Amino acid sequence: MIEPPRGRYPGRLDDKGRLKIPTVFQEYFASLPDKRLFVTSLDRRVAQIYPIELWKANEKIFDAYVDDLEALRNISFNALDLGSVTEMDSQGRITFNPDLRRKLGLEDQELHLWGRGKGRVEIITEALYQEQLRLVEMQKTAADLNKLRQAGLQ
C-alpha cells in the first residue's frame, strides 16, 4: 500500500458532481484493498473523503463515545445526512452526492484538497480557504513557529 498524500492540491467538481482528484490521491486510493470511499462532512463546512476502513474506525468511536451525547448526535447526524459510499472511477473521479455539493457550496469553483495523513482528504471552497488564510496572516505566525521549533519541529 502507498503512503497517504499530504499537502494541498487543486480540484474542481465537473457538471455531474464528480471531483477529478490529483494523481497522488488516485494512486493512494487505488492501492487500498477495499476501494470504497465514504464522502461526507462532519461540520457542514468542510467535505471529507475517507477510505472505508478509516470511516469504519470512526463508526467504532461513535459507538463507544459517551462523554457528550449531544456532540455525538450532532456530528454523526451531519456525517450520515451528507454522506455516501462511492468508489473512484477509472478516470480518477469521485462522485459527491447532490446534498453535500449544495450544502457546502462546492459547485462551480476552485476547490482545495488537503491530504491529512492516515488517508483522509479534506475539501474546502475557495472562500473558506481565503478565510483561513486571513486568520493565519492575522496571527503571530513567526512566534508560533519559534515555539514549535523549540519543541523540536524540524
The end-to-end CA distance of the chain, in Å, is: 27
> CA geometry: angle at 115 spanning 27 and 143, to 5°?
150
Could you give the CA distance from residue 119 to residue 6 in angstroms, rounded to a whole number?
9
Name the pLDDT band for 82 (thresholds 50, 70, 90).
very high
> pLDDT tens digits, residue range 115-141?
987 899 999 999 999 999 988 877 777
Q: At residue 131, what is the residue type?
A: E
Q: Is the pLDDT of residue 70 over 90?
A: yes
List the domains of the chain with CATH numbers: 6-126 (3.40.1550.20)
Could you give the CA distance from residue 56 to residue 53 in angstroms, rounded to a whole number?
5
What is the average pLDDT value for the chain, to the nearest integer? 93
What's residue 27's pLDDT? Answer: 95
> pLDDT tens digits, residue range 3-28?
999 999 999 999 999 999 999 999 99
